[in-house]
Amino acid sequence: MAAKLAEPRDCGFCGEPVPLTRGRRGPVSYCSRRCKEKATVASGKGAENNLRSYYKRRYGLTLDQVAEMRTGACDICGTREWNGRHKNPHIDHDHATGEVRGLLCHNCNLLVGRAKDDPAILKAALKYLA
């Protein structure tokens, strides 16, 4: 029985013919790895995949869990104004264990960070202010 020849296709990104020597899977083929990467970036899937991987690796959270957290308020001051460079809330976590504690605004995240996650420093600051 004769081997079935692959049908010629055009690149899903640049439109050039895809060489028959490139392995093809699925309905879309690309003429090169570069075109495939450009198509991923252009579709926005690359950024979503990067975020998904980051939140899973860093905090053990899914994108849905992060989206649900972001609907809340700062766990210290209660604000919903996410100031700071990227206008996003900070996912607060214990640096020793990696356990997620909650969501903080930029200012409260700085407060906890400057206190080096030490309750004694925060208690001393509270005593000073009183």
The pTM for the full model equals: 0.64
CA-closest candidate to residue 88, choices 96, 97, 77, 80: 80
Q: What is the spatial distance between Cα 96 and Cα 118, in angstroms, rounded to a whole number?
A: 12
- Condensed to tens digits (0 to 9), the pLDDT of residues 80-95 reads 988 888 888 999 999 8
**Arithmetic mean of pLDDT, 61-68:** 93
The answer to whether residue 27 scores a pLDDT higher than 70 is no
Task: Say how far apart CA 16 and CA 9 lie, in whole Å.
Answer: 9
**In the predicted model, what is the mean pLDDT of the chain?**
87
Domains along the sequence of the chain with CATH: 45-129 (3.40.1800.10)
pLDDT tens, position by position, 9-25: 888 889 888 877 656 56
